[in-house]
Structure 1
Amino acid sequence: MIDQLLRTALTELTGVRHPVVQTGMGWVAGPRLVSGTANAGGLGILASATMTYDELERAIAEVKSRTDQPFGVNLRADAGDAASRCDLLIEYGVKVASFALAPKPELIARLKEHGIVVIPSIGAAKHATKVAAWGADAVMIQGGEGGGHTGNVPTTLLLPTVLDALDASGHGDVPVIAAGGFFDGRGLAAALAYGAAGVGMGTRFLLTRDSTVPDAVKQRYLAAGLNDTVVTSKVDGMPHRMLRTELVESVEETSAVKRWAPTARRTLAFKRMSGIGWRQLVADGRAMKHGSDRSWAQMVLAANTPMMLRAGLVEGDTGAGVLASGQVVGVIDDLPSCEELIDRVVTRAAGELRRLRGHLV
């Protein structure tokens, strides 16, 4: 385990040793991966969207039993019990609350009152300035190269656009974490050179020994090339980058009418597994739809997504599930531990930055 080589606004803000974030991937970012990242000096983010309230409490307690280092929890700001879940973070002294959607200003204020760092994920410059004005401590951006739900602007354009917008709005001191396309120390060095405070990596952490994704599925990822991912809206109505599997190809070619029956079955299965009642499911759907241009048909598809991801990432059934993935899958060929990964990423980044300083005149 290496000592701190890079001090940034992210390491100062969160208390982690290295400016590397393991993103909150549903069904993947569980206690073992999060604690492995934390013990290696990075910021591990526990994914809670696919957990019930009680499962989240147990997961937080397990992470606390595995590490004394800072870690975070990713929350759905539009969930009906978001406030109660935030109370869990406060009760257990979790260091970071990250959000897939912008939390309301009053929720940001409540978390900050208790010393919790608030980091929303945003996909556009205007969203960055909005949450900064609301009091967010940092933001994470993901370029189109990233896995899961993603936009179409590459990280190399989205990152400087967000940085410039924050500067222009008077919030240039808000750290920006860059995600989408990062897998090694050269990427971290490049992100820092752009002005980011660190990088977030999802697929790279999924492909570690600390990840609980089934080994056979990991091998499926390792066999993928740079052109073996696809962005489709057919799975849940939103652009979603995943591995190009037979299931995904068939979904792409199937009509909306033929997708309804299996979609309904998976939605009911998720309802049973999560313990969410119909009233809460509808309320969450309305919250998700608010401010969105998705139709109700697309919202039903979105509710179905967790089960398709679970089938692939937990049960290892690639014939019935989908495998979210960033484009970096095409350049990853090993399964290090979190400690090995973070050590080599940070060491390489520090070396690249030293090399570049040698060229200054």
Structure 2
Amino acid sequence: MLKRTRIQDLLGIEYPITQGGMAWVANANLAAAVSNGGGLGVVAAGSMPPELLDAEIKRVRKMTNKPFAVNIMLMSPTAEAAIEVIAENRVPIVTTGAGSPGKVIERLKPLGTIIIPVIASVAHARRVERQGADAVIAEGMEAGGHIGEITTMVLVPQVVDAVDIPVIAAGGVADGRGVIAAFALGAEGVQVGTRFVCATESPAHEAYKEAIIKATDRSTVITGRTTGHPVRCIKNKLTKKFDELESKGASLEELEALGTGRLRAAVIEGDIEWGSVMAGQSAGMVKKIQPAAEIIKDLFSDAERVLRQMQSYLLNEK
């Protein structure tokens, strides 16, 4: 059996798993399904107007009595409004990404909110620990969406060694082998995004889900490196156009114009050619659409199987 971790105790969850804060995908339906399944469901504030975020938070509370979180994308123009909506609703847990969480910690921690920033380097992890973060999500470049430059395999153990707060591993986790690998690296929980896109309760268009299921090990590419905010997506006409423009030295304004509205086009409208089909490299391991609770049970029953297999192997070696 897997040992209970500080993440489970901190968040009050059955399984040490959090759902990625994926804009347009991580809505109240998906968050409630993950929380009811024993993990930590997350609503992505993204660029939501405050009234819509308020409605989503209230919907989650009607659908589950389990812990849930809201993710704040700090580079979003609506981030400050999201902080106030979260404060008004006394959301128990917040994850943050794409920036420094100082303002979030300063405003929400006195209210008792648990703050867990997504980080992509040791320096970032140390900084947010000093600021008062309760845990960190160490996300490797295998993840979908906005990414850093370090792989999960290398990032997680260095972050574990650098901080005293619990570490959640993200990027590349889609089955029990990934869960056990994350724990072997010193993490006390995992964050899963791409596989939850294919949850039954996910609002992602069926075409988006099918694009993930059909993906192989080499289906994803990184675009937007020249903007300073690289993004991992499944390759299509949009990613090829990004490559073309970047190779010609296109301006930041041109690249931002090309990317505007493309994630919504993929997630909601099902445009998998010119939409931004954000997905991690683990897409090649996602084989079916299934309920969120079933995904969680599959991950951890498989992890137990892998652990038993490893123990048997090590005992035989002795």
Q: By the TM > 0.5 criterion, same fold?
A: yes
How far apart in 2 are the matches of 1:138 and 1:332? 28
Correspondence 1:324 to 2:315: no
Q: 1:188 aligns with which of 179, 187, 212?
A: 179
For residues 7-86 of structure 1, what are the structure 2 equivalents within 5 Å? Answer: 7-79=4-76, 82-86=79-83
- Structure 1 residue 350, shift from structure 2 partner: 2.7
Alignment-derived partner of residue 177 in structure 1: 168
Given the superposition, is the C-alpha separation of residues 102 and 13 from structure 1 closer, same or farther in structure 2, using an over 3 Å criterion? farther
* CA deviation profile, 1:22-51 (whole Å, cap 9, x unmatched): 100011111111111011011111111131
Checking the alignment, whether the CA contact within 8 Å between 1:6 and 1:18 is kept in structure 2 is no
Correspondence 1:218 to 2:215: no
- Structure 1 residue 216, shift from structure 2 partner: 2.0
* CA deviation profile, 1:173-212 (whole Å, cap 9, x unmatched): x011111100011211111121101111111100121111
Correspondence 1:253 to 2:207: no
For residues 31-180 of structure 1, what are the structure 2 equivalents within 5 Å? Answer: 31-79=28-76, 82-105=79-102, 107-166=104-163, 172=164, 174-180=165-171
How far apart in 1 are the matches of 2:51 and 2:253? 25
Given the superposition, is the C-alpha separation of residues 12 and 94 from structure 1 closer, same or farther in structure 2, using an over 3 Å criterion? same
How far apart in 2 are the matches of 1:206 and 1:98? 18
Given the superposition, is the C-alpha separation of residues 306 and 94 from structure 1 closer, same or farther in structure 2, using an over 3 Å criterion? farther
Q: Compute the TM-score of the two structures, normalised by the length of structure 1.
A: 0.80
Given the superposition, is the C-alpha separation of residues 104 and 312 from structure 1 closer, same or farther in structure 2, using an over 3 Å criterion? closer
State the SS of the aligned residue for 2:55.
Answer: helix
Moved more, 143-152 or 36-45: 143-152
How far apart in 2 are the matches of 1:76 and 1:255? 25
Alignment-derived partner of residue 343 in structure 1: 297
Given the superposition, is the C-alpha separation of residues 320 and 102 from structure 1 closer, same or farther in structure 2, using an over 3 Å criterion? closer
Structure 1: give runs of 5+ residues left out of the alignment.
167-171, 260-296
Checking the alignment, whether the CA contact within 8 Å between 1:178 and 1:199 is kept in structure 2 is yes
Q: Aligned letter for 1:214?
A: H
- Structure 1 residue 257, shift from structure 2 partner: 8.0
Count, aligned residues: 315
Structure 2: give runs of 5+ residues left out of the alignment.
none
Q: 1:334 aligns with which of 271, 279, 288?
A: 288
Given the superposition, is the C-alpha separation of residues 111 and 316 from structure 1 closer, same or farther in structure 2, using an over 3 Å criterion? same
* CA deviation profile, 1:151-191 (whole Å, cap 9, x unmatched): 2321110111111222xxxxx2x011111100011211111
Identity of aligned residues (%): 35
Checking the alignment, whether the CA contact within 8 Å between 1:235 and 1:301 is kept in structure 2 is no
For residues 195-210 of structure 1, what are the structure 2 equivalents within 5 Å? Answer: 195-210=186-201
How far apart in 2 are the matches of 1:219 and 1:96? 31
* CA deviation profile, 1:112-156 (whole Å, cap 9, x unmatched): 222211001111001100100111000111111111111232111
Checking the alignment, whether the CA contact within 8 Å between 1:101 and 1:120 is kept in structure 2 is no
- Structure 1 residue 79, shift from structure 2 partner: 4.7
For residues 279-298 of structure 1, what are the structure 2 equivalents within 5 Å? Answer: 297-298=251-252
Moved more, 349-358 or 12-21: 349-358
Given the superposition, is the C-alpha separation of residues 28 and 235 from structure 1 closer, same or farther in structure 2, using an over 3 Å criterion? farther
Checking the alignment, whether the CA contact within 8 Å between 2:47 and 2:78 is kept in structure 1 is no
Q: Compute the TM-score of the two structures, normalised by the length of structure 2.
A: 0.91
Alignment-derived partner of residue 308 in structure 1: 262
Q: Aligned letter for 2:275?
A: G
State the SS of the aligned residue for 2:307.
Answer: helix
Tell me the C-alpha RMSD between the 2 structures: 2.4
